[in-house]
A = this chain, B = another copy of it.
């Protein structure tokens, strides 16, 4: 695997993110215990009386699973995924224990930095889908990428 640079991408490019993430009941429990300890994620009985009417995974768990799929997909090769900002993040539908998640990602733009010639910013739309093909999370990431070094 080699490094990829801002110059390697253009608006409209689809990034291949082949993996899947099993949102097992155990993982739902473990993540929520550590990072989102609410009855709607941890207590099946109490959850029936709340908004979703059943146990649902933490939205932060869905986001973290999305990060894992993106990292494992290595769309930038050996170049690290460094996030600058996220806009338009929508929790479109609840993620349920037992769901299987996958990710689709498309380049929105690739802009050289106006102040630092060695780097730039790439916008990507990241959509997380469940096993029914239904979007559960959508978000627009801005990543920091190096520009391709000039030939010596």
* Contact status A89-B80, CB under 8 Å: no
Interface of A is mostly: mixed
- Asked whether A1 is an interface residue with its Cβ less than 8 Å from the other chain, the reply is no
Residue from the list B40, B58, B83, B91 in contact with A59, Cβ < 8 A: B83
- Select which of B35, B65, B72 is within 8 A of A67 by beta carbon: B35
Count of A residues near B, CB < 8 Å? Answer: 33
Question: Taking beta carbons and an 8 Å cutoff, which residues of A are in contact with B?
Answer: 34-40, 50-51, 58-60, 63-65, 67-68, 71-72, 80-91, 139, 144
Give 26 A-B contacts (CB < 8 Å), ordered by A residue: A34-B64, A35-B67, A35-B68, A36-B64, A36-B67, A37-B68, A38-B71, A38-B81, A40-B80, A40-B82, A50-B80, A58-B67, A60-B63, A60-B64, A60-B67, A63-B63, A64-B64, A83-B91, A84-B90, A84-B91, A85-B88, A85-B90, A85-B91, A86-B89, A86-B139, A87-B88
